[in-house]
Amino acid sequence: MKIFKIIIGFLLLIGAGREFIDASRQLGSLFSPGIIIGILIMLVLSTWLIGSGFSAGKFKFKSFEFIKFFVISFMTFAIVALFSLGQ
């Protein structure tokens, strides 16, 4: 079950990165509030899935571990978005 959570979390990040670029192209702006709020929700959801998959105990939102996994999730999102922008 833990491996499934990690895979789903990374797939959500890949989809969010691609969708961010596609929606930004359609709207003509990278900083639309609707897109940014949606992406932040997807990042938190993906962080929770990936973090709970890797942690041995209960995964807490108010912890250093959450920040560590949020940075990993954001970097994955940014890399996918940059590759999608390049295509």
Residue 76's pLDDT is 94
Percent of the chain with pLDDT over 90: 61
pTM for the whole thing?
Answer: 0.87
- How many residues are there in the chain? 87
Strands (E), 1-87: none
Q: What is the CA radius of gyration of the chain?
A: 14
Q: Indicate if the pLDDT at residue 59 is higher than 80.
A: no
Query: Which residues, 6+ apart, have CB-to-CB distance to 39 below 8 Å?
Result: 16, 20, 77
Q: What is the pLDDT of residues 3-31, one digit of tens each?
A: 999 999 999 999 999 999 999 989 888 88
Q: Which of residues 45 and 86 earns the better pLDDT score?
A: 45
Query: Which residues, 6+ apart, have CB-to-CB distance to 72 below 8 Å?
Result: 47, 50
Around Cβ 47, how many Cβ atoms within 10 Å?
A: 24
Residue 16's pLDDT is 93
